[in-house]
Amino acid sequence: MKKTLLIVAVLFSAQSIFAQQFCTDFHKKNCKLNPDLDYIYNAQSKSGLFEKGQTSSLRIVGYKGVDYYINICTQASLGGKVAFKIKDGKTSEVLYDNAADNMSQEFDFSCDNSRTLIIVVTIPGDSSGEKDKKTNKLKDVDMACLGVLIQTRPTPKTGF
């Protein structure tokens, strides 16, 4: 009996690890690239495994003289559009909230000063809360990948 429980636990752990590894490069394959070819991939981009109703933060550095393009993408099973905010890392002032922008899943901006920024994402809906009776873990239907793609380019010089 103990061996059976151990085997079941190992199998479910392996499934969870596989799902996390599957999500690692989700943003590279699924997020919409900026059509402007001047933008290049930024290594601060990240993906992860999320559950419905979860909120998470990603800390990035925005540099003076750089334009940023951010795109949020998810697997369809998370449903709806993801709410996200960009906050100042020192003051927590909300600099952008997509709720005021028709829940847009992309945003571009320029940094006038170098600063730490926090991207706060909130997955729509509530987890059903239903857990597998054997493993006491959330069911896979409540979990899916989310990606934050960041692209950058030097801010174009304007004027004379």
Q: What are the structural domains of the chain?
A: 2-154 (2.60.120.380)
The 8-class DSSP code of residue 55 comes to E
Residue 36 has pLDDT above 60, yes or no: yes
DSSP state of 131: B
- What gap in Å lies between CA 95 and CA 29, rounded to an integer? 28
Phi, psi of 19 (to 5 degrees): -60, -40
The confidence score (pLDDT) of residue 142 equals 80
pLDDT single digits (tens) 1-24: 555 444 444 334 334 444 446 799
- Helix or strand (DSSP H, E) at 71: strand 66-74
In whole angstroms, give the CA distance from residue 153 to residue 160. 21
- Of 61-65, 114-118, 129-133, the poorest mean pLDDT is in 129-133
Strand, helix or coil at 158? coil
What is d(CA 13, CA 7) in angstroms, rounded to the nearest whole number? Answer: 10
pTM value?
0.78
Tell me which H or E stretch contains 152.
Answer: strand 143-154
Question: What percent of the chain shows pLDDT beyond 90?
Answer: 65
Using DSSP, state whether 139 is helix, strand or coil.
coil
